């Protein structure tokens, strides 16, 4: 992403669619007995999924625990440092979405750039060092460098625009998607046999390069897909119809090719598909379901973005506009029908400091708790404005406090509710009856130091905790609360409450 959106067209498209006694246990009552190891929290690699009674599909680890991944986008501009990834981990996050550029990685057809590959390997090595999982995002904005994208996106040698006109709008980069030359380039990428082959070959070679990284979660197969719009793009009916045609046809065929390309050399990674950006405006995706050729259960997921057009155009968020409600209505059916975990690949306002946008951040975090297995906010950087998650002092930017709140990163049971407000965190879940001593019995809650600078007090009710171990946060560094509930009757409702000391 990110500068601005063409608000008029996308907003028009929106209109067109549209138990038991409490037994508290204090944290100080037990000594740590959880395996310690590295000070940084280790993110467990998801090996499967579980679909709960509400129809939601969750990522799970090898012990069957439900995982929740949270983090940030990094390295779109090839600027991420080891200090950035260490800081994200120290704040309690477990995920980075690493934006890569086909153009930078393969500036000359058939030859991967060793310098750029080495840099990508370093980023993934840093992720492993600090206990983060990395989702590699095949990123593009307005196709590629020929259309004002710097050195990012699809290479010049894979750009065919039929000599059609392109006029860059410096105040509205997203309007470039509606230019004839850009739509022609996307059409050729989807349709031309040689471009199809070269793209798939690039994915295979890159996947072969990266497959041995323990930090590699998988791939977001194509960032914010776009394509031809036969007609007036300011006509909402035209936009919705073009999006549906793309998702059902050319884009679906591309995803099938790219899934096959990666699976030729990598059967471990997770592969995520994205809808067009109209899902953010309340237009449900028309993508079909996809098969996974790997041996064993599918490792496929759904990675929509969660942006409000008006906010990206520079306005403060208006809660009465129905954005969150429309998004939730649009986001539900596809992953439920196809039993896919949801990972929101991008979200966040360009300025979290204004009153409406501060409320938007709070609403989005709460909403994603209800439908997503994880999210990556845009963007991990330090600065006085823009999308930067951190202020100039390196602390959470005003308005982003809910992003840096506590959360259950691994849950030994069925998720219930999770809330955080004013320093008070409450988690409810239903036990699955795991046996004593099994690692699957551990529930882990991240405790960011920015939320609890003076430490925490943890209580558990509904069942007696065999072990309640709290690694207290220190300064900006996150801690973690670990709760083990052995020999608990399946179906027991457990509540964990956390407050500041």
Residue-by-residue pLDDT tens, the chain, 501 positions: 444 455 555 655 545 444 333 333 333 333 333 333 344 456 789 999 999 999 999 999 998 999 999 999 999 999 999 999 999 999 999 999 999 999 999 999 999 999 999 999 999 999 999 999 999 999 999 999 999 878 999 999 999 999 999 999 988 889 999 999 999 999 999 999 999 999 999 999 999 999 999 999 999 999 999 999 999 998 999 999 999 999 999 999 999 999 999 999 999 999 999 999 999 989 999 999 999 999 999 999 999 999 999 999 999 999 999 999 999 999 999 999 999 999 999 999 999 999 999 999 999 999 999 999 999 999 999 987 789 999 999 999 999 999 999 999 999 999 999 999 989 999 999 987 543 333 348 999 999 999 999 999 999 999 888 878 999 999 889 999 999 987 778 889 999 999 998
Q: H helices within 32-166, ranges in order?
A: 82-90, 102-105, 114-129
- Of 84, 86, 75, 92, which is closest to residue 128 (Cα–Cα)? 86
Closest CA to 456 of 473, 444, 475, 443: 473
Q: What is the pLDDT of residue 184?
A: 98
Judge whether 66 and 50 are in contact, CB under 8 Å. yes
Query: Do 120 and 99 belong together in one domain?
Result: yes
CA nearest to 117, candidates 215, 223, 189, 202: 202
Token digits of residue 149:
């994208």
Q: Residues 150, 197: one domain?
A: yes
Do residue 97 and residue 218 come from a single domain? yes
> Is 51 inside a domain boundary?
no
Question: Does one domain contain both 32 and 83?
Answer: no
Q: What is the pLDDT of residue 19?
A: 31
Q: Which residues contact 158 (CB under 8 A, 6 or more apart)?
A: 102, 109, 144, 189, 195, 198, 199
Look at residue 21 in the predicted model and tell me its pLDDT: 31
Asked whether residue 396 falls in the same domain as residue 411, the answer is no
SS3 417: strand
- Total tally of structural domains belonging to the chain: 2
SS3 assignment, position 234: coil
Are 148 and 208 in the same domain?
A: yes
Q: Which residues contact 60 (CB under 8 A, 6 or more apart)?
A: 46, 47, 48, 49, 50, 66, 67
What was the pLDDT predicted at 263?
98
pLDDT (0 to 100) of residue 464: 85
Q: Are strands 300-302 and 270-273 parallel, antiparallel or unpaired?
A: parallel
Indicate whether 145 and 254 sit together in one domain.
Answer: yes
> What distance in Å separates the CA atoms of residue 242 and residue 50, rounded to the nearest whole number?
34
Report the pLDDT value the prediction gives residue 124, as an integer from 0 to 100.
Answer: 98
Tell me the sheet residues that pair with 414.
430
**How far from 45 is each of 38, 94, 138, CA to CA, in Å?**
16, 10, 21
Can you point out the beta strands (E) in 133-215? 133-138
CA–CA gap between residue 95 and residue 205 (Å, rounded): 24
Report if residue 232 sits inside a domain. yes
76 belongs to a structural domain: yes
CATH number at residue 126: 3.20.20.80
Does residue 85 share a domain with residue 23?
no
pLDDT at 42: 61
Please work out, in degrees rounded to the nearest 5, the angle formed at the alpha carbon of residue 347 by the alpha carbons of 343 and 348. 150
CA distance 184 to 112: 26
- Report the pLDDT value the prediction gives residue 306, as an integer from 0 to 100: 98
The closest of 56, 7, 35 to 370, measured between CA atoms, is 56
* Rounded Cα–Cα distance for residues 472 and 500 (Å): 11
The CATH code of the domain that includes 464 is 2.60.40.1180
Closest-CA residue to 301 (of 313, 319, 289, 293): 289
Residues 385 and 409 in one domain: no
Instruction: Give the range of the structural domain holding residue 151, as residue numbers without chain letter.
Output: 69-404
Taking residue 52's Cβ as centre, other Cβ atoms within 10 Å add up to 12
Model pLDDT, residue 2: 47
Q: Which helix (H) or strand (E) holds 356?
A: helix 355-371
| Structural domain ending residue among the three candidates 404, 434, 456 | 404
Q: Which of 404, 424, 449 is the last residue of a domain?
A: 404
Cβ pair 13, 240 in contact under 8 A: yes
DSSP 111: B
Same domain membership, residue 34 and residue 181:
no
Residue 12 lies in a domain: no
> Looking at the domain assignment, is residue 52 inside a domain?
no
Domain annotation covers residue 53? no
Are residues 358 and 501 located together in one domain of the fold?
Answer: no
Query: What is the spatial distance between Cα 441 and Cα 364, in angstroms, rounded to a whole number?
Result: 30
Residue 247 shares a structural domain with residue 308: yes
Residue 373 and residue 58: Cα distance in Å, rounded?
6
Distance (Å, whole) CA 180 – CA 175: 11
Edge to edge, the sheet with strand 424-430 lists 414-421, 424-430, 493-500, 456-461
Is residue 141, in this structure, part of any structural domain at all? yes
pLDDT at position 485:
85
Last residue of a domain, one of 404, 428, 445: 404
Using DSSP, state whether 263 is helix, strand or coil: helix
What is the Cα–Cα distance from 132 to 125, expressed in whole angstroms?
10
Q: Say how far apart CA 38 and CA 27 lie, in whole Å.
A: 21
Structural domain contains residue 492? yes
Q: Which pLDDT belongs to residue 10?
A: 62
């Amino acid at each position: 992403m990110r500068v601005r959106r063409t608000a008029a067209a996308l907003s028009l498209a929106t209109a067109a669619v549209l138990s038991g006694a409490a037994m508290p246990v204090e944290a100080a009552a037990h000594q740590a007995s959880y395996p310690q190891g590295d000070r940084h929290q280790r993110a467990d690699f998801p090996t499967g999924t579980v679909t709960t009674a509400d129809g939601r599909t969750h990522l799970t680890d090898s012990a069957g625990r439900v995982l929740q991944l949270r983090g940030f986008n990094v390295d779109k501009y090839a600027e991420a440092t080891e200090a950035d990834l260490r800081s994200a981990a120290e704040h309690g996050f477990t995920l980075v979405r690493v934006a890569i550029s086909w153009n930078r990685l393969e500036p000359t057809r058939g030859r991967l750039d060793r310098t750029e590959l080495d840099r990508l390997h370093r980023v993934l090595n840093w992720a492993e060092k600090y206990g983060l999982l990395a989702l590699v995002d095949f990123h593009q904005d307005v196709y590629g460098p020929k259309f004002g994208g710097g050195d990012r996106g699809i290479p010049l040698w894979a750009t065919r625009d039929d000599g059609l006109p392109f006029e860059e709008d410096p105040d509205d980069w997203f309007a470039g998607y509606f230019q004839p030359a850009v739509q022609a380039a996307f059409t050729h990428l989807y349709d031309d046999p040689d471009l199809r082959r070269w793209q798939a070959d690039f994915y295979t070679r890159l996947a072969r390069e990266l497959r041995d990284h323990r930090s590699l979660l998988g791939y977001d197969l194509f960032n914010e897909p776009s394509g031809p719009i036969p007609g007036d793009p300011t006509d909402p009916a035209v936009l919705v119809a073009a999006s549906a045609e793309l998702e059902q046809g050319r884009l679906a065929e591309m995803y099938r090719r790219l899934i096959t390309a990666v699976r030729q050399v990598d059967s471990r990674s997770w592969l995520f598909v994205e809808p067009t950006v109209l899902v953010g405006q309340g237009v449900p995706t028309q993508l079909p379901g996809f098969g996974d050729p790997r041996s064993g259960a599918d490792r496929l997921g759904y990675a929509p973005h969660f942006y409000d057009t008006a906010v990206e155009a520079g306005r403060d968020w208006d809660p009465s506009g129905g954005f969150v409600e429309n998004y939730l209505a649009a986001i539900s059916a596809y992953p439920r029908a196809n039993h896919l975990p949801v990972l929101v690949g991008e979200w966040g306002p360009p300025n979290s400091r204004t009153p409406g946008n501060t409320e938007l951040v709070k609403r989005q975090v709460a909403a994603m708790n209800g439908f997503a297995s994880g999210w990556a906010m845009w963007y991990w950087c330090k600065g006085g404005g823009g999308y930067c998650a951190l202020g100039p002092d390196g602390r959470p930017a005003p308005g982003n406090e809910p992003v840096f709140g506590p959360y259950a990163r691994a849950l030994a049971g069925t998720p219930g509710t999770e809330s955080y407000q004013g320093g008070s965190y409450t988690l409810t879940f239903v036990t699955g009856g795991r046996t004593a001593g099994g690692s699957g019995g551990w529930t882990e809650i991240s405790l960011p130091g920015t939320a609890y600078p003076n430490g925490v007090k943890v209580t558990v009710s509904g069942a007696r905790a065999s072990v309640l171990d709290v690694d207290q946060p220190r300064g900006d560094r996150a801690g973690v609360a670990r709760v083990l509930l052995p020999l608990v009757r399946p179906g027991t409702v457990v509540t964990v409450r956390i407050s500041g000391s």
